[in-house]
Amino acid sequence: MTDDPNSADLENAGVRELAEIPAVEVITRSAVMLMSAAAEKLGLSSDCPDESPYRDLDEARRLITALAGLVTASAEYLGPHAGPVRDGLKTLQLAFREASASPDEPGQGPGEKFTGPVWS
């Protein structure tokens, strides 16, 4: 905590602002953040993903699994956003399988315990 009297006002402003955001927007923003982070960990932002310094398949697996759980648990609330979010998840799951030296069996890949097997 700081002695600055304005710091409490800033904290309260942040809480009020967050409280005004609809749940579907918070869920969608969270999904987009997880998608972006997973894409980075798969090296997809690089011209050559195999050589990306950010590639980390273990981290990508965790992010994709978290995304799958979020999407599965909140699909009924996403309305028109559900389809594109699911498509993004499937794309990441397939990219993970393609990037793996020894791909998981269908149904064993990241997030597939929530989504079921993903086929190309």
pLDDT tens digits for range 71-106: 999 999 999 999 999 999 999 999 999 999 999 999
- Break the chain into its structural domains and give their ranges: 20-112
- Across 97-112, b (16+ Cβ under 10 Å) vs e yields bebeeeebeeeebbbb
Spatial neighbors of 91 by CB under 8 A, at least 6 apart, are none
For 7-56, the pLDDT digits (tens) are 666 666 666 688 899 999 999 999 999 999 999 999 999 999 999 999 99
pTM: 0.84
CA 13 vs CA 8, 19, 21, 27, 79: distances in Å: 8, 10, 13, 21, 29
